[in-house]
């Protein structure tokens, strides 16, 4: 498998500006809030055992983890400033330095969408190795159904991949069970004037948990390691 130098170099360069560049605007802030709400529903804030943030970047979501791994040493350095007590290492998501079944929970946000299909497959295999039976793998991924509706065309590696619920359900059912999933960003709330955002956000949150949630922009999926 190729060393993903374009992705590595991209995040090495972006690291000091990543938080502001990605989450300092209305779109980023909105997605961040929805993801925080989902994480709060899924994971207790005090980790009950070793918990991994895979592709942790600058540590935006590290508060639920004990460990963080990222391809880019510069991103890890930013994360260490926020979480000096965490065990943070540079490394690849499909060849991690961890022992078998060491984690009860691992989660990964805004990572899989940048990888090639065979790399995504390799990350799931690695997650199955490091997460113990009964443990959980939580990840986000752009919704293929939504992208089909809006005619999305990828023009680079950046956020190029998406998955449908059907594809996620087809994943090796002797290893993973789909436990639940939520949507993120069903309506373009971030594009509305501030005065309209509060009521529309309420509707958006409802839609992101409704039977139509696969049509949100992203899905956050929880798999159980069998
Ligand atoms: C968009 S950032 C997401 C960071 C963080 N999870 C968040 O949600 O803010 C993607 C991160 O994935 C990392 N990454 C990309 N490919 C990786 C790989 N193969 N193994 C580990 N990390 C990788 C990048 O270095 C970057 O920090």
- State the pLDDT at residue 44: 80
- State the pLDDT at residue 2: 46
Q: What is the best residue among 6, 10, 11, 60 to mutate for testing ligand 1's pocket, by most ligand atoms within 8 Å of CB?
A: 11
- State the pLDDT at residue 195: 85
- State the pLDDT at residue 98: 98
The domain that contains 220 carries what CATH number?
Answer: 3.40.50.150
Q: Distance from CA of residue 215 to its chain's centroid? A: 17
Ligand 1, atom nearest to 12 Cα: 25
pLDDT in tens, the chain (226 residues): 345 578 999 999 999 999 999 999 988 999 999 999 999 999 987 778 999 999 999 999 999 999 999 999 999 999 999 999 999 999 999 999 999 999 999 999 999 999 999 999 999 999 999 999 999 999 999 999 999 999 999 999 999 999 999 999 988 889 999 999 999 999 998 889 888 888 899 999 999 999 999 999 999 999 999 9
Residue 93 alpha carbon to ligand 1 centre in Å: 9
Written as six digits, the tokens of 107 are 């989660």
Distance CA 217, CA 85 (A): 34
60 within ligand 1 shell (Cβ under 6 A): yes
Domain count for the chain, please give it.
Answer: 1
| Phi, psi of 224, rounded to the nearest 5 degrees | -105, 135
- State the pLDDT at residue 3: 52
Q: Distance from CA of residue 164 to its chain's centroid? A: 15
The conformation of residue 45, written as its DSSP 8-state character, comes to S
61 within ligand 1 shell (Cβ under 6 A): yes
71 within ligand 1 shell (Cβ under 6 A): yes
Ligand 1, atom nearest to 8 Cα: 25
- State the pLDDT at residue 46: 76
- State the pLDDT at residue 1: 38
107 within ligand 1 shell (Cβ under 6 A): no
- State the pLDDT at residue 139: 98
67 within ligand 1 shell (Cβ under 6 A): no
Q: What is the best residue among 4, 14, 29, 55 to mutate for testing ligand 1's pocket, by most ligand atoms within 8 Å of CB?
A: 55
Ligand 1, atom nearest to 115 Cα: 16
Distance CA 100, CA 132 (A): 8
Q: Note whether 197 and 157 are within 8 A (CB).
A: no
Residue 71 alpha carbon to ligand 1 centre in Å: 7
Domain that holds residue 55: 5-225
Distance CA 5, CA 2 (A): 8
Phi-psi region of 51 (alpha: psi -120 to 50; beta: other; left: phi over 0): beta
pTM (2 d.p.): 0.96
Residue 91 alpha carbon to ligand 1 centre in Å: 10
Q: Note whether 24 and 84 are within 8 A (CB).
A: no
- State the pLDDT at residue 58: 98
């Amino acid at each position: 498998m190729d060393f993903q130098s374009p992705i590595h170099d991209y995040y090495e360069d972006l690291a000091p500006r990543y938080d502001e560049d990605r989450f300092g605007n209305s779109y980023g802030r909105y997605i961040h809030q929805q993801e925080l709400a989902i994480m709060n529903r899924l994971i207790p804030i005090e980790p009950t055992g070793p918990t991994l943030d895979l592709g942790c970047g600058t540590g935006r979501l590290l508060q639920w983890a004990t460990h963080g791994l990222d391809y880019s040493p510069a991103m890890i350095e930013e994360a260490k400033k926020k979480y000096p007590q965490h065990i943070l290492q540079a490394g690849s998501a499909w060849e991690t330095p961890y022992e078998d079944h060491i984690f009860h929970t691992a989660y990964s946000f805004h990572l899989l969408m940048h990888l090639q299909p065979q790399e995504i497959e390799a990350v799931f295999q690695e997650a199955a190795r490091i997460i113990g039976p009964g443990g959980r793998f939580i990840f986000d991924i752009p919704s293929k159904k939504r992208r089909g509706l809006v005619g999305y065309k990828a023009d680079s590696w950046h956020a190029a991949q998406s998955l449908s619920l059907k594809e996620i359900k087809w994943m090796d059912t002797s290893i993973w069970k789909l436990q639940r999933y939520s949507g993120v960003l069903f309506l373009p709330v971030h594009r509305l004037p501030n005065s309209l955002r509060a009521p529309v956000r309420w509707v958006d949150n409802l839609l992101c948990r409704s039977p139509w949630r696969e049509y949100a922009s992203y899905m956050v999926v929880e798999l159980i390691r069998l």
